[in-house]
Structure 1
Amino acid sequence: MTAATLSAADSEKLSKLQSSVAGLSQISDNEKSGFVNLVSRYLSGEAQHVDWSKIQTPTDKVVVPYDSLIPTPEDPAETKKLLDKLVVLKLNGGLGTTMGCTGPKSVIEVRNGLTFLDLIVIQIESLNSKYGCNVPLLLMNSFNTHDDTQKIVEKYAKSNIEIHTFNQSQYPRLVANEFVPLPCKGTTSKDGWYPPGHGDVFPSLKNSGKLDALLSKGKEYVFIANSDNLGAVVDLKILNHLIRNKNEYCMEVTPKTLADVKGGTLISYEGKVQLLEIAQVPDEHVNEFKSIEKFKIFNTNNLWVNLNAIKRLVEADALKMEIIPNPKEVDGVKVLQLETAAGAAIRFYDHAIGSNVPRSRFLPVKATSDLLLVQSDLYTLNDGFVIRNKARANPANPSIELGPEFKKVANFLGRFKSIPSIIGLDSLKVTGDVWFGANITLKGKVVIAAKPGEKLEIPNGAVIENKEINGPKDI
């Protein structure tokens, strides 16, 4: 993908922007140059669309089936050697605002009173104890989550795990029609700024000094994952495979279901493995992209990357990931955020592969409907690992749709005396003012719809199977 040269008008825009950005005292020189570089690439109109005719389905050599990965050594001493080369990095920049929470999303309680962060710490602690290794945990915060996270990690001070935090870049939002940074227009609050997507993990790891510190301790690979993906646990098989084969990058992909049709997928393109996102797809091919017959896998955002390779590519300024323009509105002003995704970096690394992993490695909690799944009897908790209940015969999870009354975590928790048993559930749709008693069992296809203006209480101990309920008489 080649960058076009800037037009005279765009060059003038960029030069004005540069002088505005130079005057922003809130951010570092690295952040200023990173931002100007991103805007310059955006203005040059680098090709975002791919040539559809050149797309090829990756072979098993490129997207390696999980069962074909090199098995893990049985000797615990060999396992310790592997783990001592590893760092776990969780993307911790997101706020729990969509679920009605303030502060980092990773401190939402998921199960048994434990938060995402508690579970992550317990998992790594148990690895360190079992093998006598030292796997550190890194948290990449945004300016939104930094202060809260610093306070929260204090509670793990006595655990046998090193926890490091660093911030991703802070970039100014752009006023869309004038192309000037929003903070230069007098916005002094956090609203003037944004974190530029998780593609920023690579330069931020380097700029924070963490990358060189890890390399000096003999660390070789980083496992990067979203902090809200409960399935993203350390996998020795993947780590062993990458070290043996000198793969610099591995993206975990998993089979698409109809719920994942918009997710990015891996393709072979001009001899390289590449991430294809829906935004890059020409309009006439969007339906084809969404087909689970043609594009069978999608990106889980569980990524394994060689630390030396990150250093080499960041220092050479070679990571030119596709730019994702994200229009927003702040106090009635239309603004633009330019972002990048870490998965798009795959094409810049040597011997990069995908691995087609079991669906159990993708268990994100994006909404309270996901929280219902992971708090239910569909899962159990063991050493911080959320494990699927074998009593569930269907490999797919039930589809759950909860109305707006359940959107916020506090409201969701208030409406359930206890989480229903859903081992035998296929689908659940709840609308209106519905309240659940204790020890309820839901099976098959269940629809519960309270009439407008009426409160509908599902009594303790109710067993509801393949029913639509609109009032007490239907129970």
Structure 2
Amino acid sequence: MSQDGASQFQEVIRQELELSVKKELEKILITAPSHEFEHTKKDLDGFRKLFHRFLQEKGPSVDWGKIQRPPEDSIQPYEKIKARGLPDNVSSVLNKLVVVKLNGGLGTSMGCKGPKSLIGVRNENTFLDLTVQQIEHLNKTYNTDVPLVLMNSFNTDEDTKKILQKYSHCRVKIYTFNQSRYPRINKESLLPVAKDVSYSGENTEAWYPPGHGDIYASFYNSGLLDIFIGEGKEYIFVSNIDNLGATVDLYILNHLMNPPNGKPCEFVMEVTNKTRADVKGGTLTQYEGKLRLVEIAQVPKAHVDEFKSVSKFKIFNTNNLWISLAAVKRLQEKNAIDMEIIVNPKTLDGGLNVIQLETAVGAAIKSFENSLGINVPRSRFLPVKTTSDLLLVMSNLYSLNAGSLTMSEKREFPTVPLVKLGSSFTKVRNYKDKIYM
């Protein structure tokens, strides 16, 4: 068969598969209750678009030969941003800000059920407690109205909403919206595993939240984007709720609100210097004339070691992002936010091999105008992924003030110590039993 013939044959197969998936999704949609129909339809439409792209794209999505070092001025040192100082009226810039925390994850990797944000991390304070304390401190100090928005998943929404009642007297307006719910795909047939919209029984493992790149569509669809624009808000600060270093930085916000060249920056990615522990982290490069986040999964196998080089690729993405609300609205309405697909393989409890298609919020940087990287201190990247991390943030290495952790001045090095606890400490309950016994 000629090359053209093979391509035509593959295209026919793709079209037949897409038609089969469309029929399966239609069967799922008709099982949705009337009050969930429109929301479910939006979710399944989003899945179909992602699945279509998945069938079109093959292999690593970057041409290694096109990767270049970013221009000098495209990644600014934090010290330069800080040297500009703060405006006389700090509240004027703070009132343009919305804080968004990615709150879709469960605490399963640390042996917990329910939202990870509800795990106690310091003085019985949870991730969510500390976040609310930080923003309340800002609002009280500067007499502002910075709201907190939680992007929940269907896994975390119910439990999170129950706990929000405890903050009703805090000086923080809290909003939530849900990211999409997509059906997992049978690895062999490439058809959806789900048979109906329910999330119980055999269907419990049939659905998944499609990564934090879903924030753009879900935030837009929730109506919150338009509400905040109508209130005069201009930027969102997006970060993982388990990154205890991701606090509102007034110097970065001032840089955005008062750009030195008068040209608005639509997207800022905080990066920080790599250590040996961060060699797999995504890095900023120059690609086809734009800043682009390159993840290790996109790198051709022959260049993976080069990608991991701390000397060549010196920085990585902290996932602390500052994004223009107006730009999100413009790009979303034009369907112009481009993010690479992450194919995440899973094995369900019954042994079925599936894949789930995801996107990452930082990958959209190339879709925005006048994007910028800021090389921030390591203190702004303090994720708690394991009980080893938990031991560090609970220790006297840090002091807690208004929800923010500060490293002790007695520490001689700016980096955190490397801590590795044994397997018997993996679960939070076992860890606390042994630590406090």
Q: Same fold (TM over 0.5)?
A: yes
Structure 2 CA distance for aligned equivalents of residues 415 and 385 of structure 1: 26
Residue 256 of structure 1: aligned partner: 274
Q: Residues 61 and 340 of structure 2 are in contact (CA less than 8 Å); yes or no, is this contact kept in structure 1?
A: no
Cα distance in structure 2, aligned partners of 1:323 and 1:227: 23
Amino acid at match of 2:108: T
1:378 aligns with 2:397: yes
What is the CA distance between 1:23 and its match in structure 2? Answer: 2.5
1:298 alignment counterpart: 316
Q: TM-score, normalised by structure 2?
A: 0.92
Alpha-carbon deviation of 1:188?
4.3
Aligned to 2:356: 337
Letter in 2 for 1:391: K
Q: Which letter maps to 1:210?
A: L
The aligned residue for residue 36 of structure 2 is none
Shift of 1:48: 3.4
Instruction: Please give the secondary structure, in 2, of the residue aligned with 1:180.
Output: coil
Contact 1:72 / 1:236 at 8 angstroms: preserved in 2?
no
- State yes or no: 1:16 paired with 2:20: yes
Match of 1:53 in 2: 65
The Cα shift of 1:74 comes to: 4.6
2:326 corresponds to which residue? 308
Matched, 1:178 2:189: yes
**1:275 and 2:264 aligned:** no
Query: 1: CA distance between counterparts of 2:353 and 2:64?
Result: 33
CA distance in 2, matches of 1:363, 1:45: 34
User: If each structure's helix is expressed as a fraction of its own residues, which one has the higher value?
Assistant: 2
Contact 1:122 1:383 in 2 (8 A): yes
Counterpart AA for 1:409: V
Give the corresponding residue for 2:142.
131
CA distance in 1, matches of 2:44, 2:334: 18
Tell me the alpha carbon deviations over residues 267-304 of structure 1, each in whole angstroms, 9 at most, x when there is no partner.
01111000010011111111111110000000000010
Per-residue deviation, 1:67:
1.2
User: 2:153, 2:178 within 8 Å by CA — same for their partners in 1?
Assistant: yes
Letter in 2 for 1:313: L
CA offset at residue 404 of structure 1? 0.9
Corresponding residue of 2:106: 95
Q: What is the aligned partner in structure 2 of residue 423 from structure 1?
A: none
3-state SS of 2:318 partner? strand
Deviations 1:359-405 (A, max 9, x none): 00000000000000000010000111111000011222111111110
**Amino acid paired to 2:369:** D
Please give the secondary structure, in 2, of the residue aligned with 1:159: coil
Residue 239 of structure 1: CA displacement? 1.1
* Residue 303 (structure 2) aligns with: 285
| Number of aligned residue pairs | 413
Q: Which residue of 2 aligns with 1:448?
A: none
Q: Distance in 2 between matches of 1:15 and 1:320?
A: 24
Q: 2:427 aligns with which of 408, 429, 438?
A: 408
TM-score normalised by L of structure 1 = 0.85
Pick the structure with more strand per residue.
1
Q: CA deviation at 1:244?
A: 2.2
Deviation of 1:53 after TM superposition, in Å, equals: 2.1
- Candidates 386, 403, 424, aligned match of 1:367: 386
Q: Pick closer, same or farther for the CA change 1:72–1:86 going to 2, 3 Å.
A: farther
| Equivalent residue letter for 2:374 | S
Please say if 1:398 is aligned against 2:385: no
CA distance, structure 2, for counterparts of residue 129 and residue 107 of structure 1? 24
Amino-acid identity (%): 52
Letter in 2 for 1:23: K
Question: d(CA) in 2 for partners of 1:296 and 1:349?
Answer: 23
- Map residues 72-87 of structure 1 onto 2, 5 A cutoff: 72-75=85-88, 78-87=89-98
Distance 1:302 1:296 in 2: 17
Matches within 5 A, 1:310-325: 310-325=328-343
Is 53-62 or 106-115 further displaced after alignment?
53-62
Indicate the SS of the match to 1:266.
strand
Q: Are the aligned partners of 1:48 and 1:322 in contact in 2 as well (CA < 8 Å)?
A: no
Match of 2:170 in 1: 159
Q: What residue number does 2:35 align with?
A: none
The residue aligned with 2:3 is none
Q: Distance in 1 between matches of 2:28 and 2:92?
A: 46
In 2, distance between residues paired with 1:290 and 1:393? Answer: 27
Q: Deviations over 1:201-230 (max 9, x none)?
A: 010000111111111111100000000000
Task: Please name the residue that 1:115 is paired with.
Answer: 126
Counterpart-to-counterpart distance in 2, 1:364 and 1:306: 25
CA distance in 1, matches of 2:230, 2:306: 47
SS at match of 2:420: strand
Measured after TM superposition, the shift of residue 324 of structure 1 is 0.4
CA distance in 2, matches of 1:41, 1:146: 29
Equivalent residues in 2 for 1:422-441, closer than 5 Å: none
What SS is found at the alignment partner of 1:262?
coil
Q: 1:24 Cα shift?
A: 1.9
Match of 1:197 among 204, 211, 224: 211
1:147 match: 158
Q: Which has the larger radius of gyration?
A: 1
Native 8 Å contact 2:76 2:374 kept in 1: yes
Please give the alpha-carbon distance, in whole angstroms, between the structure 1 residues aligned to 2:134 and 2:64: 42
More relative contact order, 1 or 2 (CA 8 Å, 6+ apart): 2
CA RMSD of aligned residues (A): 1.6
Q: Deviations over 1:327-358 (max 9, x none)?
A: 11112111110000001000000001110000
Q: Which amino acid aligns with 2:362?
A: G
Kept after mapping to 2: 8 A contact 1:167/1:204: yes
Matched, 1:213 2:189: no
Q: Deviations over 1:124-161 (max 9, x none)?
A: 00000011110000000000000000001110011111
Structure 1 window deviating more from structure 2 (210-219 vs 64-73): it is 64-73
The alpha-carbon deviation at position 72 of structure 1 amounts to 3.6
Q: What stretches of structure 2 of length at least 5 have no aligned partner? A: 1-6, 33-38
2:87·2:254 contact (CA, 8 Å) conserved in 1? no
